[in-house]
Chain A
Amino acid sequence: MIRKFIRAVGLKIAQTIGTHVKDFPSGRSLGRALIIPWRGKIHVIGLDVAVRHVAVRPMFQPQKRLTYWKQEIVFTEHPPPDFPNIRKTEPRSPSETTGN
């Protein structure tokens, strides 16, 4: 109970004072999170993945000017799934599935 409370308070703080996280191509706001480098890793704390279903990929931002001293990591979302039905065009091997 106390752990849950502390976690909720911590999340609230992260989502209040954290940096704005945006989908880089669209500029759409994805909420706030604390982004903390620690022991060679970058920790993202408080990004709302449960309620707002934020699913982002980190990537190095393309550079219009070549620089050797700085690169930027940004976040992007996949586009909404829009894959075709391929069963009508590609026959499948029966061995690919196992009947139950």
Chain B
Amino acid sequence: MKTVLNLILSHQPAAAVSRMLTHWNQCVPNESILIAHGGSKEEFHAIQHEQKFFVEDPRLRTRDHQREFQSYTGLFQEAAKFLSAHGDQFRFVHFAEYDHLPLVPDLNERQIERLTAESADLLAFHVHRVDGTNNPHFLYHVADDKFMSYWSGISPRAEAEVVLSMFGSGSFWNREAFCAVCAVKEPFPIYMELYLPTLAHHLGFRLRDFGEQNRFVRVLKDESSHVDRARKEGAWTLHPVKRLWDK
């Protein structure tokens, strides 16, 4: 039985996606991979992979992601439709951007084991509580009164003011949490690194951090030349690896 749906977001040309899939197939079964393509329609049609969909949502295609409130809601909702169409084949969803490289052949097993050990519904990288802090994304959103009142309006939790942040390039969900988040209409534009973890939290789900794996998921410096080193140091995944699929 296929257990984990590996949802991979890419905007790259079909040839690069093909090279990326060749690598991914060393880590997860090919039939567990669903490609979400945010590039051009022509390149999307040229991708040689059965399970794929084109992301129409313009809020995925931001340039200044934080200031334009980049959203994965449309993308996730398309993936939720895929889950629904495939019955109960998939119990978990692993989301990864194209530059978040898997490094171990038993990646999904490790993720399930960590999720279970943490009794969590969502695992992500660099999970922080940011309400009341200097976190720039929080400060940008909290300038709008709607932001905090939305969470207090939906939250069954005693601390309705909690705002969480996670790094957006990769996350691991149980199906219930993923589908519950997808079922909520985004009330107004909220940057996905705040929206997804905070919504999951206020829907009652438990979020935990990937802990020691955080150090292999960074923001800026390309890690394409450090893949072997990261694997030796115990990395399950590595980010950002942007040049590996170029040729």
Interface assignment of B111: CB less than 8 Å from any CB of chain A: no
Picked from B121, B128, B157, the residue with its CB within 8 Å of the CB of A78 is B128
> When chains A and B are docked, how far (Å) is the Cα of A100 from the Cα of B186?
9
The answer to whether residues A81 and B157 also contact, given A49-B135, A92-B204, A100-B77 and a CB cut-off of 8 A, is no
A50-86 interface bits toward B, Cβ cutoff 8 Å, 1 = contact, 0 = none: 1101111100000000000000000001111111111
Whether, in the assembled complex, A3 has its beta carbon less than 8 Å from a beta carbon of chain B, the answer is: no
Output the least CB separation between A50 and chain B (Å).
6
- What DSSP secondary structure best describes chain A's contact surface? loop
A99 to B186, alpha carbons, bound, how many Å? Answer: 10
> What residues on A are CB-neighbors of B219 within 8 Å?
50-51
Contact across chains for A97 and B165 when beta carbons are under 8 A apart: no
Contact across chains for A86 and B157 when beta carbons are under 8 A apart: yes
Report A-chain residues with C-beta under 8 Å of the C-beta of B154: 96-97
Q: Does B225 touch A at the CB level, under 8 Å? A: no
- Given contact pairs A55-B165, A97-B184, A98-B184, A82 touches B208 in the complex (Cβ within 8 A): yes
In the complex, which residue of chain A has the Cβ closest to the Cβ of B181? A97
* Chain B at the A interface: SS class: loop
Whole-angstrom distance between the Cβ of A26 and the nearest chain B Cβ: 15
**Identity of the chain A residue whose Cβ is nearest the Cβ of B118 in the assembled complex:** A82
A80 touches B133 (CB 8 A): no
Q: Which residue of B has the minimal Cβ distance to A59?
A: B132
**Is the pair A87, B135 in contact by a Cβ cutoff of 8 Å?**
no
Which one, A44, A51, A77, A85, contacts B121 given CB within 8 A?
A: A85
What is the number of residues of chain B that contact chain A, defined by CB distance less than 8 Å? 39
Taken together as a complex, chains A and B put the C-alpha atoms of A51 and B204 apart, in Å, by 29
Flag if A55 contacts B119 (CB, 8 Å).
Answer: no
The residue from A49, A50, A85, A99 contacting B183, defined by CB atoms under 8 A apart: A99
Q: Which residues of B contact A34 (CB under 8 A)?
A: none
B204→A87 contact, CB < 8 A: yes
Q: Across the interface, which residues of A come within 8 angstroms of B204, CB to CB?
A: 85-87, 90, 92
Instruction: Output the residue of A50, A81, A97 with the most chain B CB within 10 A.
Output: A81
A47 to chain B: closest residue by CB: B134
Contact A87 B203 (CB under 8 A): yes
User: Could you tell me the distance between the alpha carbons of A54 and B130 in the complex, rounded to whole angstroms?
Assistant: 10
- B127 touching A100, Cβ below 8 Å: no
Contact flags B112-136 to A (C-beta < 8 A → 1, else 0) = 0000000111000011111111111
Q: A49-B134, A86-B204 are in contact. Are A81 and B129 (CB under 8 A)?
A: yes
Residues of B at the A interface (CB closer than 8 Å) are: 77, 119-121, 126-136, 138, 154, 156-157, 162, 164-165, 167, 180, 182-185, 201, 203-209, 218-220
Q: Identify the 6 closest CB pairs spanning chains A and B, nearest first.
A: A78-B129, A87-B204, A55-B133, A85-B206, A100-B185, A55-B135
